[in-house]
């Protein structure tokens, strides 16, 4: 099973790649229509949700962790 932390880490890596490998540019991302936008900093925007529900929400956002 994929963990929430692994998914967030991979979303962050995807965003860094999208921004040409420049980690500092991820914060300045100008694509709020992207389904991963709220997770781009490697954090869950709604951390009060825990466990399986949070993992499911991340997967529904359109990203699966690379294993």
**67 has pLDDT over 50:** no
What's the mean per-residue pLDDT of the chain? 82
Global pTM value: 0.66
Note whether 12 and 44 are within 8 A (CB).
no
Distance CA 24, CA 16 (A): 8
Q: For the segment 7-38, what is each residue's pLDDT rounded down to a tens digit?
A: 889 999 999 999 999 999 999 999 989 988 99
Burial of residue 29 (number of CB atoms within 10 Å: 0-12, 13-18, 19+): middle
- Return the closest-CA partner of residue 18 out of 4, 1, 34: 34
């Amino acid at each position: 099973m994929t963990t929430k932390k692994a998914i967030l880490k991979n979303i962050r890596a995807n965003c860094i790649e999208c921004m040409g490998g420049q980690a500092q540019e991820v914060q300045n991302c100008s694509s709020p229509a992207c389904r991963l936008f709220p997770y781009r900093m490697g954090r869950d925007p709604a951390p009060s949700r825990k466990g399986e529900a949070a993992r499911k929400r991340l997967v529904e956002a359109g990203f699966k962790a690379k294993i």
